[in-house]
Amino acid sequence: MNSKPFEGVKCLILDMDGTVYLGHKLIRGSDRFLNEIAKRGIDFKFFTNNSSHDAKSCVNKLKKLGFDYDESRIIISSSVTIDFLKRFREGKRVYLVGNENLTNDFVKAGITLTTDRDNTDILVLGFDTTITYKKIEDAAYILVRGAEYISTHPDVNCPTDYGFMPDNGSFISLFKTSTGREPDLIMGKPYAHTVDFVCANTGYTKDEIAFVGDRMETDIYIGVKNGVKTALVLSGVTTRESMKNYDFAPTVVAENLEALLEQF
């Protein structure tokens, strides 16, 4: 067994919820981990699938937990979605199911947004923490009429310090039940669009990055699917028992980020 499984890794792609913090509480030892890998010259980015956040809100949350990082450290599934739309769907009219943070990011990126459900080319489903029944009704109407359907990420639940809250994957299920439609494309982890975006954003190759997180189906599967090393931390939604439900495995497993230091 390789005693240094992350040999050659130059940049860690760190999940946030359930990995660095849980809700509003820092996971024990996360600060030591981040300080130590920086001392060792290992670069890192934070990647969250949670598209209800924007880079500023992520930075502010990290500051409240004692970290002082700028927005260049943050990558969100919405960034991958915006990049895809700008490169491959330029000028298309997008009906966005998203909160103010997500909407502002789309506007700043120059994405053409519409609230006209009869003249929508693409429905983008984000983690909308301000969702209304009107948005749900509009989205279902648009999907039945055959517009392209893109989701920012697939997470069913978002971990919190009080348990969890329903996330994008739960709404994907709702719309499948209502309309029979599933997304034509899903961004974020574990999809290849995200690996390509991360490599372009960081300047590192797939052999030089590693994904670190608490979810088997996203943080770990993205590595398994795309030939990237992974580390699972058991500080969020996954337990050693629930790992047995998957037919794939991470490169390494650790109780938390602090324990993961032993692998470097």
For the segment 40-80, what is each residue's pLDDT rounded down to a tens digit?
999 999 999 999 999 999 999 999 999 999 999 999 999 99
pLDDT band at 164; cut points 50, 70, 90: confident
* 3-class SS of residue 183: coil
The CATH homologous superfamily for domain 90-186 is HAD superfamily/HAD-like (3.40.50.1000)
- pLDDT of 255 strictly over 90: yes
The CATH architecture of the domain made up of 11-49+189-263 is 3-Layer(aba) Sandwich (3.40)
Rounded CA-CA distance 50/180 in Å is: 25
Q: Count CB-CB contacts under 10 A for residue 139.
A: 28
How do 122-125 and 94-97 pair as beta strands?
A: parallel
The pair of structure tokens assigned to 173 is 């299920």
Q: Over the stretch 70-121, which tens digit does the pLDDT of each residue have?
A: 999 999 999 999 999 999 999 999 999 999 999 999 999 999 999 999 999 9
* Tokens of residue 60, six digits: 């502010």
Record the pTM: 0.91
